[in-house]
Each structure stands twice: as structure tokens, then as C-alpha cells.
Structure 1
Amino acid sequence: MKRRNFIRTVAGSGAGLLGLGAGLGIAMPASAQGSSMDLARIITGFAAGGTSDAVCRRLAVRLTGDYAKSVVVENRTGAGGQIAIQALKGLAADGSWILQTPMSMLGIYPHIYKQLRYDGLKDVTPVSLACTFDFGFAVGPSVPDSVKTVPQFLAWAKQDQTRAAFGSPAAGSVPHFIGVLLGRSANVDMRHIAYRGTQPAILDMIGGQIPAVSGPVGDFLPHLATGKCRILATSGSTRTKFTPTVATLREQGLKDMVFSEWFGIFLPPGAEAAVVTRLHAALKPALASQDVVSGLAGFGLEAASSTPAELASRLREDHERWGQVVRTIGFTADS
């Protein structure tokens, strides 16, 4: 009896161990696969060589290895960044497809496009901030040297309506709205001239074709040394480290004129919490690494990370705020 009991006990234990071994046999490959997938893709809606592309490529280098054996950047350009976000909806939410996009495509576009093919809040899964940046309002050689602040520029422009004009990188962009709001603050009808990017606008400003440009601070930095471009104000809550001697719009008496932009990292809709957590864990040290921080600084960008919840909250707040701004200005992409 004792011998039979011993055999049954060992047999039962063996079955349990086999079951446990089978379980471990399944779990171990999954865990190994989770530590480093074969391929991950970072999608951007903008062309190679631009600011958004530069952020993606620096992150791709840092994510290669631990997160995925290979991380590549896909530039799905078109419709001002809309194509990339539209594509995200149909992609696998397993962490192998990652979207990097500026806030505007999610927080502003839903208010200016009547037939947008995605929901800026529901069709993305927030993971982390990537970077932040402020805007600048700059003037060229057609504006007298005596004009040193934005209020002085507005007073100068008010004297002659032909002077009341500014360029921006695109209609419906944050710089576009900043210029309009500046004009309204002083009852000046500021004529907006939309360009395909900030650099063409700056070149026209330096050439004297337009008096001023509203755009990301980083886009002005290469031109400041020429003396033909000077930033009158920046748009952040505090002075940016890239132009520490330039006062903010708030400091110049425009207290409600505080605007900044950010790039965020997202997964397709429906991504599970474990997938989000894994990507976030890889992004946080990448965004804190010196090569990424210094690399983005060259574009006037400040590397920054956040929790998924913080990014979701920030997106909702910006979505609501820019909805109010767009309604106030009365702009639509079809106008």
C-alpha cells in the first residue's frame, strides 16, 4: 500500500511538473519575444529631413536592440500629416507600429476640417510626450530697428495697413493663429500669408517681401546671426533656453498669449495596457539620453517624456482649448 501510494504521489507530481513545464515552455518564448520583437516601425506624416522625421530617427536608433531588433522610420506624407494618422487605425496594436505626430493634427485639425477621416482623441493610444517647443514672432529688414517688441510692431503696422502682414508655415497652424490673435489684440487686421513650411517664409522675410513671420523658434535660429532676422517675442510661459534674451509675449503685456506645441508618441487604437507600458518603458530612457536631448536641441526642441495618462490629459486639454480658438477666429480649412 505504501509503495502504491508513493508511485501515485510521484506520478501525480510528475504530471504537475509536466504541466508547469509546459506552461513555462509557453511563457518563456512569449517573454523573450516581448523583450525584443523583430521589427518595429515609427510612422511620421512628414518628409525625411524635417523636424518630425529627425525626432523619429533619433528615437529609432535608441529603441533598436532592447525594444526591437530593427526599428525603421516610415514617412507617410500627405494632407498635412493626416495620412499617417489615418493609416494608424488599420494597423496592428501589438507595439510594432508607432506613430509620432505634432499635437496640431490631433488637437486642431478636428476643428478646422469638416470631413476629417479620424477622431483625434479616440483613434490613437497615448504613450508619451517626445518633445516640446515654443513659437517666435520675428521681423526682417523691412521693419525699422527701433521696433523691438511685438506691441511696437503692431503699432508700426497700424500706421500703414500694407505693413500689417505676416507669414506662417501653413494655414490652420498654431503660428497662423498666433499672428491673427496678435493683430486682434491691437485692433490690427493682420493679413496672413501661408507658406509650405517656415523656411520659405523666413527667406521672403529676409528678402524684404514680407515684414514678419510667425513660426517655431528653432526655425529662426540659423538666421539670427545674419542680422536680417530678429525675434521680437516667444510664445511660451517662460523664456526659451534657445533665445534667453528674448521676452515672452506674456512679459510684453499679452498675458493670454501663451502657446506651445508638442510631439507625441502613440500606438494604434485598442492597444493593451501591457503593450503601452512596454513601449513607454523603452521611450523614457531614450528621451533622457544625451544624444537625443542634444540632437533635438539643434532643432530648437526640448526632449520630454510623460506618462500615458499625462499625455492623454494634455491632448484633451489642447483639443478643447484650440476648439475655442478656432471658433473665435472663425477659420476652416475650406475658407
Structure 2
Amino acid sequence: MRKIILAAIAVLAFGGVAAAQNFPSRPVTIIVPFSAGGPSDAMARILAERMKVTLGEQVLVENVTGAGGSVGVGRAVRSPPDGYTISFGHLGTHVANGAVYKLGYDLVTDLEPVALLPSNPMIIVSKKAVPATSLKEFVAWLKAQPTAPTAGTAGAGSGSHIAGVYFESITGIKLQYVPYRGTGPAMNDLVAGQIDMIVDQTSNSIGQVRAGNIRAYAVTDSKRVESASDIPTVDEAGLPGFHMTLWSGLWVPKGTPKDVVAKLNAATVDALNDPAVRKQLENLGLQMPPKDKLTPEALGAWQKAEIAKWWPMIKAANVKVD
């Protein structure tokens, strides 16, 4: 009996190694926890198109929305740990949500990091009807409103929500948050004049700013964005220190073989090193991560550091699910 058990274990172990060696043998799916058309979706689709070249299989994007992205992340967590399901996320989904929602999973221990992705500073934008033409004028306009100005977010705890809370704490302005299933639909309402403002990802807003459909006041960084060099930084515009960068990353379910994680990491790094991909991402206002930060270990360490940084502020602001 002991020999049979040992033989069975050996077969299972060999099968796992063989599966990892043959990975991938069918399409891989990236779960984006926000609606199609938003900044996360755009980045994931650009990367997926190039990752398939390295992997030799199609890389599909599936949009699974709800609860500030926590529904989509949960779908990935509960998927088989075989590398065929990847969780795309960012500061909101893989850091802030742990301080806002009762998730039913642990953002650190139930996921394996794959690679850090490009990031972008936020940008303070308003509907076109707002008369302000500078950040100082916009802050004054917000303070003069008889009721709380409306700010679009991708849900409680999302990057746009955290940025809004941060904006409130610095300016003393009270905002009324309007949650959406992503900043894509939030932007649609901003263009339509249904909400007053968003502290948004630059990559989501820059196209509408260039088209003249919304107003931009400042980027939340100490340096200007190359693709939008005419927009001042918050330091230049009169709100010094309001710095926030929304970074993104890829994860897989806990227990995914290390060889598979390594293959997914290599495909991601190859994509980020492709000049055509870099140009597409940089045109969206995204900033490439340093080369020494592209390992799974670097993403894991960064995620933990961001949890230590942001959770206290989120909890102190008593951010709750809407």
C-alpha cells in the first residue's frame, strides 16, 4: 500500500511539473475588475495583445465589475492556481479594498505577485461648465457651492475615491461621492455634466482633456507628465504635497507553480520592453516602472508597503461601502 501511495504522489508531482513545463497550452484570461473602456481595461488590453507573442497563446481580457473591483479580484482568487487566470489590479483593488470591504480573501496571502505595471499620477478634472481655469480658482469654486460638490469614483475604496478623500483632507472641502463600476462610466457622466469633478487617473482623462470636453487643473505629482506637459503639477498650481500615483500590477491565485509565475512575468516584461507597447502606454500618460522593480518579489514588497501606508489613512477617514 505504501508503494502505491508513493507512486501516486510521484505521478501527481510529475504531472504538476509537466503542466508547468507545457504552460500555456490554451488561452490565458486576465480579469480586469472594472468596466470596459476605462484606464485599467485599456492597459490590460494593450499588454494582453503583446503577451500572447511571448506565451504563444491568446491572452483574453474579461471584465468582472462590482464592489470597487473586489468582485473581480475574488473571481481570480477562487480560480485554479494554474496560471490561466490572472488578476489585474491596482492601489484600489489590491491595497485599499482590504481596509474597506469584508473580502472573504486576503490580498497578500491568497495571491501570488507576478509583475508591477506602469503607473500614472492622478489628475484633477471637472466638467466643462465649471468657470474656473486654474486649480486655485477651482478650489474656491468648490468651496462656494451651496451643497457638497459631486465627485465620481470607481466605488468605495477605489483609487479615485482614495484620491478624493486625500483631496478633502488637504483642502477642507466636503465632497459627495458618486460611485460607478469604473472610472470609464464616471468619465462619461463628467463629460455630460452630470457630476462636478473626478480626481482621476491621467490615462483615463487625458483624451477628454485634449478633446476639450473637460477641464484639467493639475497632476498629483512633483513633476509634469510628458504626454501632458502643459498641465501643471499640484505643487505649481497651489496645492503642494498632494501627491498620489496609481500603480497597477498582475497577480495569480496562491499556489500557482513558480515556473508558471516566471513565464507570466517574462511575458509581461517582454511586453513592457516592446517599443510599440511603451509608446502606447506613455501616450496614455503612464510611467514605466524601473527595471529592478519588475520581479514578482518587488511587486510583493511594494504591495505590503502600500498597505502599511494607506490603510491607516483610509480607516481614519472612516471610508465605508456606499
Which of 224, 243, 249 matches 1:258?
243
The correspondence of residues 85-234 of structure 1 with structure 2, limited to 5 A, is: 85-113=73-101, 115-144=102-131, 147-162=132-147, 164-234=149-219
Cα 1:165–1:98 shift into 2, 3 Å: closer
Query: What is the identity, as a one-letter code, of the residue corresponding to 1:107?
Result: V
Q: TM-score, normalised by structure 1?
A: 0.78
Structure 1 counterpart of 2:321? 333
Output the CA distance in 1 between the equivalents of 2:192 and 2:36.
Answer: 27
User: 8 Å contact 1:46–1:77 — kept in the other structure?
Assistant: yes
RMSD over equivalenced CA pairs, Å: 3.1
Q: Does 1:291 align with 2:273?
A: no
Output the CA distance in 2 between the equivalents of 1:289 and 1:237.
Answer: 27
Cα 1:48–1:137 shift into 2, 3 Å: closer
Structure 2 counterpart of 1:249? 234
Query: What is the identity, as a one-letter code, of the residue corresponding to 2:201?
Result: P
Deviation digits for residues 153-183 of structure 1 (CA, Å, limit 9, x no counterpart)? 2223323433744333433322223233323
User: 8 Å contact 1:165–1:192 — kept in the other structure?
Assistant: yes
User: 8 Å contact 2:36–2:184 — kept in the other structure?
Assistant: no
Residue identity (%): 29
Output the CA distance in 2 between the equivalents of 1:32 and 1:311.
Answer: 22
Structure 2 counterpart of 1:307? 295
Structure 1 counterpart of 2:69? 81
User: 8 Å contact 1:81–1:105 — kept in the other structure?
Assistant: yes
Q: TM-score, normalised by structure 2?
A: 0.80
The correspondence of residues 47-58 of structure 1 with structure 2, limited to 5 A, is: 47-58=35-46
> How far 1:207 moved relative to its partner?
4.7
Query: What is the identity, as a one-letter code, of the residue corresponding to 1:238?
Result: K
Cα 1:270–1:197 shift into 2, 3 Å: closer
User: 8 Å contact 1:103–1:263 — kept in the other structure?
Assistant: yes
User: 8 Å contact 2:155–2:161 — kept in the other structure?
Assistant: yes
Q: Does 1:240 align with 2:225?
A: yes
Output the CA distance in 2 between the equivalents of 1:161 and 1:120.
Answer: 40
> How far 1:253 moved relative to its partner?
4.7
User: 8 Å contact 1:163–1:211 — kept in the other structure?
Assistant: no
> How far 1:132 moved relative to its partner?
1.0
Output the CA distance in 2 between the equivalents of 1:53 and 1:300.
Answer: 15
Deviation digits for residues 68-111 of structure 1 (CA, Å, limit 9, x no counterpart)? 43433333444332233223333333333322222311100111
> How far 1:269 moved relative to its partner?
0.6
Query: What is the identity, as a one-letter code, of the residue corresponding to 2:82?
Result: D
Output the CA distance in 2 between the equivalents of 1:211 and 1:91.
Answer: 39
Unaligned ranges ≥5, structure 1? 1-25
Secondary structure of the residue that 2:167 maps to in structure 1? helix
